Amino acid sequence: MDITYRGHAIRVIRAGGWQAVAVELDSGATLPTKVSALANEGRPVLLRRACELIDVYIAAQAARGAGAACAGAATRC
């Protein structure tokens, strides 16, 4: 079952343990990093980790965007 979080679909896979893949909904791009949890940690731990990973990617994209905007600016950012 997929859930959505901040513009991403989180695809949960159960195979011995738990794994999740995040896919950006707008572009269909899969994030290059997967998250996992042990079988005894369960789905809630996996989903928390997946959401944290998405937060990291969104923050990195925002930082890159700010850096690109600052590169052409006359003043320091």
- Mean pLDDT, consecutive 10-residue stretches, the chain (77 aa), reads 91 94 95 95 96 96 73 48
12 contacts: CB under 8 Å, gap ≥ 6: 1, 2, 3, 18, 19, 20, 43, 46, 47
Confidence (pLDDT) at 23: 96
Half-sphere exposure of 21 (CA within 13 A, CB side): 9
Domain boundaries, the chain: 2-71
Confidence (pLDDT) at 76: 46
- Mind listing the pLDDT tens digit for each residue in 58-73? 999 899 886 655 555 5
Confidence (pLDDT) at 8: 97
Confidence (pLDDT) at 9: 97
For tokens 């690109």, the residue is 68
Confidence (pLDDT) at 1: 58
